[in-house]
Amino acid sequence: MKGEFTAIIEKVPEGGYWATCPEIPGANGQGETVEEAKESLKEAIELILNDRREDALRGLPDDVIRDWVEVA
């Protein structure tokens, strides 16, 4: 799955960075550097979206048409 999402990155007073994604509720990450926080956030987004997709596809009828659409 490919897409672009907003990363809000904040410096944490205790050290390191905290990252959230407003488009994906519950997606957050943390790291000692900005890049580590972004990578952690990316992993969280992927996990959440894959879980939502699996939930949505579970129990669909056998004759359902499954196709793809691209969003720019």
Percentage helix, strand, coil, to 5, in the chain?
35, 15, 50
The residues spanned by each domain of the chain are: 8-57
31-69 pLDDT, tens digit each: 999 999 999 999 999 999 999 999 999 989 989 998 988
Contact in structure between 64 and 16 (CB atoms under 8 Å): no
Instruction: Name the pTM for this structure.
Output: 0.84
CA 36 to chain centre: 15
Tokens of 71: 């969003």
